[in-house]
Amino acid sequence: MSMSEVVEENTSLIPVINRLGIRLGLQDKTVREVCEDHQIDTDFLLIIINTFLNEEYFPEKRLQAFHVSQIIDYLNKTNQYYLRFQIPNIAKHLDLFITHSESNNATLNLIGKFFQSFKEHLTEQIKKDESEWFPYCLQLSGQLQKSISFNQEEIRSFSDQETNDDSLEAVLADLKSIMIKHLSGDFNENLCYAVIFAVNSLEKDIKQHNRIRYRILSPIVHKMELLIKTR
């Protein structure tokens, strides 16, 4: 199947492939050809895509084929994509929206505060990933070079953990809700839509990002910790 067909059917994948260095202008190249051009593991890309698109997908049998460094590399690129592109994009549209709307609007001030809170929380999490979590994962991987297997109970426990860590998604959902329910006065509707669409896109992206963290990386790390302790 050509990569362009995949993306045409699922345009939400555009930021996913962009963060891996794959740009639009895909022509008729197959998924494998595009991956070869960008030196990306085709199987890994397909697992990431399926995980992103399908909430029921969890490739437990395939996890052992990939090194922890591949997963962390993707998560790190995702974090950087948030900081460099998606957050600035929302900030730009939000600033324009507030500037071109009625001044002294309490709702607009609240929207600005919600977004600032989200930005600070996300930035703090990314800094911890870079300085603590990712280095720790790689250190464990360096100590333990062997394949990892899982039982269903372990998988279920991390699926439960995933559902409990939704604070970033919740802030974005609240921001979207305020704009949809409580806006008043004169405001630029096109800029309003741009903010809502950008927030909605990031909310969905973070949800899938967290699924990869907790349903792929966290079980591997937990298993490595147990194996190292029993040495």
Residue whose C-alpha is closest to residue 123's, from 157, 145, 91: 91
Residue whose C-alpha is closest to residue 12's, from 205, 169, 211: 205
Q: How confident is the model at residue 194 (pLDDT cuts 50, 70, 90)?
A: very high
Query: pLDDT > 90: what percent of the chain?
Result: 40
More confident residue, 140 or 54: 140
**CB 54 within 8 Å of CB 10:** no
Task: Decide if pLDDT at 202 tops 80.
Answer: yes
Q: What is the pLDDT of residues 161-186, one digit of tens each?
A: 444 456 888 888 888 998 899 887 78
For residue 60, the model assigns a pLDDT of 62
Global pTM? 0.83
Averaged over 87-112, what is the pLDDT? 86
Q: What is the pLDDT of residues 26-43, one digit of tens each?
A: 999 999 999 999 999 999
For residue 208, the model assigns a pLDDT of 83
**CB 12 within 8 Å of CB 201:** yes
For residue 39, the model assigns a pLDDT of 93
For residue 4, the model assigns a pLDDT of 96
Domain ranges for the chain, please list them.
3-53, 63-229
What is 85-148 written as a DSSP string?
IIHHHHHHHHHHHHHTS-SS-HHHHHHHHHHHHHHHHHHHHHHHIIIIIHHHHHHHHHH--S--
DSSP state of 224: H
Q: What is the dihedral of CA 199, 189, 98, 102, to 10 degrees?
A: -150
Task: Decide if pLDDT at 151 tops 70.
Answer: no
